[in-house]
Every structure is written in C-alpha cells, then in structure tokens.
A and B are shown apart, each in its own frame.
Chain A
C-alpha cells in the first residue's frame, strides 16, 4: 500500500502538470475575484471564507479525472485490480494520494491567499482547519466520481456534473465553519458536521468506488 502511495506521489510530481496546476488555478481564481466584485475591503473580507472554499473546491475538481485516467490508459489499473490488495484499499490510497498532491497544498496556501482577500485575522486559523477537515471528503467523493467515469471519452465534463451536487453538504458546512470562525461566532456545530461528513465518506465511499471500478473493469 505504501509502495502504491509512493508511486502515485512520484508520478504526480515527476509527470508534470498535475501537481502544481491545482495550486496555480486556486491562486488565479482568488486573484480574479476582486476584479469581479470590486476591491472594497469590507465586502471582500465578508466573502473571503466562501471564496476560498469555492476556489479550493474547483481546484480539487480540476485534477479529479487524473486519478484513474492515466492508469486506465496504460493498463496498470487492470494490474492493480488483480493485485492481492483489495480494490477498496487501492481506491483509498488513490484518494489519499490525490489529497496529498492537491488538497494539502490548497489547505496550506489558503491562509496566504486570505491576505489577498483581506480575511479578518481571526479567520486564518478557521479557514485552515475547515479546509484541512473538508478537503479529504472532497478527494474521496471525487474518487467515486472518477471511478464512475473512468472509461468514458470526454468524461471530465460529466465528472463535474456528477460530483458537484455531491459536494454541496461539504461546501455548506466547510464554508460555514470558516465564516463563523472569521466572525468570531461559535463553530462547534458545523465543525462537528463537517468532521462527520469527512469520516463518513472516508468510511463508506471507498466501497462504492471499488464496486463501480469493478463494473467498469469488467
């Protein structure tokens, strides 16, 4: 399992394009927002948590179709499926690799980008916490979507239609934690819900993803 994780990470770093792309996209979206809504500091600081969440979600979405596509094309996905490791485990590792290469950099970059959006100082910690807690759920749900569309030509567009509605609860609770944290309100309830969604999807969705992948490899 660790070997597979290391292989995926190495591929992501060396194959180019995939690793930094999500981060760059996140940066560009964040920079574009003030041009769209105007540079008013009060307005920006009010919408900053939501904007950071939307940006992270879109950046995450951008890299989803890479999870299985390359392995599917060169046939290594079939090899992985026949390996002694259960497919559920492989799917989980894939999601983990996706999170480390996409989610984690986003989490770390979000507070820095918060400066551009004049996020209130109390918000930095909570944006970090909510993204750290929420992005694993985004990766796991996205892995399910990627498994659904793996063999399809032009699956990328379909993937976003399938995955975005599934992202709704995570987005609502995640942005709510960040918003309440930035305004200094109590964050306990949405924080617990967000954690519940993350752990729940992590526990259950790999089974659905593996089942879907088995059908697609049939």
Chain B
C-alpha cells in the first residue's frame, strides 16, 4: 500500500496523474463559502460559550474539610450543574476552592449543600461569592492588538517574499476561512471557550499560514518563468505545484494530527471536560481545515486573482490558442475534446505532442 502511496507521489509529481484542483475552483469556493456560512450561523445561533476565565462565575470555599481530595468537588458540581468545567484547588491546609460558571440562586444553595455533604462539613462552612474574569478585557484587547499587527506584518513579509501581494491576500483569505470555520465548529460542538482553546485558535493561525507558505513556495517555483514558455498556462503550473506538494501536505497533516487526535481522544475518554480536550479539539478542527484550505482555497484564489493580470491573461490566451491550433493540425480523427483540465497536471504521459515525433524508447533494457 505504501509503495502505491509513493507511486501516487511520483505520478502526481510528473503529472501522469493529476487532480484538477485549480480548474474546479468554483466547486471549492462554493464549498468553502458554505462552510463559512455554516460557521457563522453556528456562531450566531449556538454561540460561543465563554468559560469562567472570561465571564467570571461563582466561587465556593469549603473550610475545615476532612479530605483535600478534589474529586468529590467535581462530582458535587456535576450533580448540580451538569457539563460544567469547574476549577478546583486546595487553599491552605484545609480549604477547598471551587470555581464554577455563574449559577442561579437555587443552584448555589444546592451546590453549597452538596459540597458540605461531600466534604463532611456544616453548610455554614461553605461560603460563596462572585469571582471576576481572570482573563480580563485588557488581556483580550492586547491579544487582538497583537493579532492585527501580526496580520499586517505577515502580509508585508509574504508580499515581499513571494514578490507579489496577491499571494499574501490569498493566504490571508485562507487564514480567515480557517479561523472562522474552526471557531464556528468549536461553537457548534458546544465546548466551553477557555484560555486553552483561545491558544488553540492562535496556534491554528500560525499553522494555517505556515502550511500555505509551503504550498505557495512550490507555486512560486513552478511559475517562475511561466510567461517565457507557451506549453502551460499559469493556472496549470500552479495546479501542478499543488499536486506536487499534495503528498507532503497529506503526510504533514497526518503527522500533525496524530498527537492532537491522541490528546483529544485520550483527553475526552479519560478526563471528561478538561483543558486538554479544549485545546485538542480546537487544534484538531483547525489542522484539518488549514491543510484543506492550503490546497483547495489558497492556490485557487491566488490563480483567480493572478489571472486578472493583463500579462497572465494574455499568456493564458496565447497558450490555449496555440494548443487549439496544434489539436487541429494533429488531425481531425482525434475527436476527444481537449479541455484545460486534461492539461492541468502538466505533461500527460503519452499525450504530449512535442515529443511525438521522437523515436519511441525501447521498453526492454539492454
């Protein structure tokens, strides 16, 4: 199976086999737009569920406890308000601090009783109060400030590196898609947003750009002298680049996903709600879509943008005209319709006409 995987890589590289990714960009755009729309709907209807760190919540202090184990507190919270992710810690020698999301008055009373029972103390030894957000507004403001500056800088850097601003724009669009979809689907799953998940989203930001840069680097390499030849159009060269990096993209995403998936599943099954699960879910969704977007969104958008350049448009027209002329000259008996798609992977073994006149190489070796 692996040999065939390697063979696939070889075929994709030479263009013997080719996925027409750039040519069918409308399909991907519609799919991506649908996903983004779905994410926005999820964000509007289901909404993100910010955790204690962002909203503040209720804090209970149980003093004079017999045992400082934390599990009874988790169980008590679960019995009163299910699905919550309380923060439990031991304070001093004989106190337990439990922080939960904001509870109703009835729930507060219930939880006080449950905690008193769980730790074998009088209800009066359990005090409750409101606790403010640990992740204050200033933390968020500064993080957003940092993000905006980062995006501006990275656009500049990419525009300089690729020597074309359209690549930077395409990478940014792919990035926004990844971010919206990741956050939207995260909201859809209904996990609480904790600082850990925010950090997961930020990681995705970096990874999405990282992955796109790798693919674009190949596109840049393949299209370097594209205007100086008339065999392939810009779109076909770019498509070849995507195909040539496909095996890399697959391998990388599998390698990246394996540890994340193992944290996600181990984290969910063994721990229930936990910081690990939050960050792993954010990363799991984000990694998948970052890889997909670098293949199906970034390059197609970049090609769509670049084809508006007069030079590229003219070149594409020239190539297609030459090709049509060659088709006609080659004889009317070849009635297979020639589409751009069939050329999208560069040379098709046995189909290119340029070497058709050359002697056929003998199959058996000496």
Is A bound to B? no
Q: Which residues of B are in contact with A by a Cβ distance under 8 Å?
A: none
**What residues of chain A have their CB less than 8 Å away from a CB belonging to chain B?**
none
